[in-house]
Structures are given as structure tokens and as C-alpha cells.
Amino acid sequence: MAEVAKKGLEGIVVAESKTSLVNGSEGKLVYEGYPIETLAENASFEEVAFLLWNERLPNKAELENLRSTIATEATLPAELIAQLKSYPVKADPMAMLRTAVSASAMYDKDSEDNSVEANRRKAIRLTGQITTICAAWDRIRNGKEPIAPRKDLTLAQNFIYMLSGDEPDATASEAIDVYLVLLAEHGMNASTFASRVTVATGSDMHSGIVSGIGTLKGPSHGGANAEAMNMFLEIAEPENVEPWFKKNIKEGDRRIMGIGHRIYKALDPRAAILEEKAKALAESSGNEKWFQIAKKLADAARADSYFIERKLFPNVDYYSAIVLYTIHLDVDMFTPLFAMARVVGWSAHIIEQFANNRLIRPDVNYVGPMGLQWTPVDQR
């Protein structure tokens, strides 16, 4: 008798990993032994990248070396900039990113080298280059020239600088840095699994990262924060929250985007941290409306029996939408920023997969017909 298939591989363990622990029932997220709350409060994105790639925190010299190397490697080849300028300006930013990262492999001297040393170099290079690609595309499609990264800035600071050309605002830089820390890694999610499946065949890191980007592009995965922001824009004003909730949720069949999670049956710990950052950024920018809408809607949901019984809480996408929108990022650029963070986790998993590799090849239960008789084409 055929084994019963687990739809979506739910509950199936496919690997052992040291990168992160996701405990959905208790609302816990741990990177390499460190609670996410500790890292969000104390660590820079570069420290988290070092941690995930090396299984330990860096010392001061190692951290500065990594920061400097990422900033240096973030510079794009002139040929790749020219390609970005040739893309249709109305192209989906995730389609752009998927294509640009694939193209970048052809300019990477390590692209076909799957040694540990080469993969570490590529992880650093891709982390910097994806940030530059995202910022460059936002300028190119708005008729502006891309701005090269500065070697003296952190990745979060460089992103804001490359978007505007201005000195990066401290509050905005901190909010983006925390966002990157929170999104860097999250267990065997769909895009991470796709990355590992790709390199398990013996393919290269760029191919694995492109697989991750293609998977993250889906609205059920990385696109949720954009959907959440579109919902807030639809509500438009804080006083519209209650009638919107009544019409669309209580009396309609709409979902609140960014509330509920496949894994978390308690509050997503990343959401609690981002709520604080979104509030601080809203206050410092003088643009508090979107935070007020989000907070009021979350409170309405948490007071409703439907959400209470089903243990539906805000997830990381909910308040991250407010953070990204407050720094004046277009909504369709939200998911590329997710990729900007998650490339660190993808590359850590790729390195881990290569260290103890076996082709990932699950079984499938055939449920189609049997014993059909062939009919010649002129008799069909």
C-alpha cells in the first residue's frame, strides 16, 4: 500500500541544519544558538552574516574586514549595469533581480568553483551585489543614474545611500539593518529548500540563489509584505479601519494580509521587534498614519474570536511593510529587499548542503489510470 502523501511536505524532515531553529508553537526563532531578540537588539547585519556563514560571531577585526569586503564586492561590473539599463522599466522587480543575479554569474571568476573557499567568497559577493542591484534598479526605472556603493558604509547604510545619493539617515539605516537581521534566515522555508534542491544536483551557488529568488517571488512567500502594504493603502486612514474590518473581514471573505503564518501559532518574534522599529521610524519621519492603521487593524484582529481561536498573529511581513514604505520604497520593491536579506541564509544553507551532499529526490505516489489501450491517431 502506497504511503500517504504529505501535501506540501508538511511535517517532513528533509535535512539537519545548524543555521536556525524555528519553533512556531512557542514563537521562537534562533540563529546558530542566539535568540533573534538578542541579535536584533545587539547585532549588525554583517555580524549575523558572519555568524550564519561561520557558526560563530566575529571579533572586531573580522567584523570590519567582512563589512569592508561586502562594500567593496558590492560594485557591479559595467556590463551588468548596462544590462539593467536595457530591461523594460515596467518589469517586475523580482523578475529583474532573478535575471540580473543569473547574469552576474558570467562575470564571477568563482562561479563554477564549488569549493568551500569559493562559495564563501561568492556568498559575500552576492550579498553586496544584490543590494546594489536593488538600489540601482529603483533609480534606473525612475530615469536616474545608478550610484556606486561606498566602501566606508555598512550594507544597510549603503542601500539607503545608493537609493538617494544622500547621507543615510541614522534612524532609517537602523530600521533597515534590523529588518535585514530579522529576515536573514528562517529554517527550511520554500525558497531555502529550492536553493538546496538546486545545488544538491552539483549545480553552483548562483543557480541556487536564482532558485531562491524565483521561489521568493511568489505571493505566498516573499510577496506578502507588499500585499500587506497594498491593504493599508486601501484602508487609507486610521478612522477607516473599523468599517473596513467589518465589511471585508467580518461580513466578507477577505484575509488580513500579514496576519497568520504557516509555522507560527504564537506571535512571530520578528513582528514584535519590527512593530517597535516601525513605530520609531514613523515618529522620527513625522509620517505616523500607516503605523496607526496597522496597529489599529492588528488590535481589531486580536480582539476577534476568529483570530483568537485560530491563533492568528501578525507576522514579520505585517510591520516590515510599514518600515519599508516609510523610507519611501515603492511597494513592488519590498520583495527584492527580502531577497537582499535572505541571500545570507540561502548561501549558508548552500554551503551546508555541499558539506554533506546527497541528491534531493523525494518519491511521489502515482494516482493516474493504468492499463489503457492504445488507439491509432486516425481512430481517436
Any idea what the CATH number is for the domain that residue 303 is in? 1.10.230.10
Q: Are residues 157 and 260 in the same domain?
A: no
Q: Are residues 237 and 170 in the same domain?
A: no
Exposed e or buried b per residue across 27-57, where buried means at least 16 C-beta atoms within 10 angstroms of its C-beta: bebbbbebebeebbeebbbbbbbbbbbeeeb
At 261 the pLDDT is: 83
Question: Could you give the number of structural domains in the chain?
Answer: 2
Q: Determine if the pTM surpasses 0.75.
A: yes
Which among 323, 258, 316 is positioned nearest to 290, based on CA atoms?
Answer: 323
Q: Are residues 190 and 71 in the same domain?
A: yes
Q: Are residues 140 and 288 in the same domain?
A: no
Q: What is the three-class DSSP state of 91?
A: coil
Q: Which residues are catalytic?
A: 261, 317
The 8-class DSSP code of residue 333 comes to G
The three grid cell numbers given for residue 275, joined into one nine-digit string: 512593530
Q: Are residues 256 and 344 in the same domain?
A: no
Pairwise CA distance, residues 159 & 327, whole Å: 11
What number is the average pLDDT over the span 222-237? 92
The full length of the chain comes to: 380
In a domain, 34, yes or no: yes
The 8-class DSSP code of residue 304 comes to S
Of the given ranges (101-110, 220-229, 337-346), which has the lowest mean pLDDT? Answer: 220-229
At 260 the pLDDT is: 86
Segment holding 34, helix H or strand E: strand 34-35
Q: Are residues 197 and 228 in the same domain?
A: no
Q: Are residues 211 and 228 in the same domain?
A: no
Look up the domain containing 252 and give its range.
224-326
Q: What is the pLDDT of residues 305-332, one digit of tens each?
A: 999 999 899 988 899 999 999 888 999 9
Q: Are residues 75 and 183 in the same domain?
A: yes
Q: Are residues 200 and 344 in the same domain?
A: yes
The domain that holds 105 is classified in CATH as 1.10.580.10
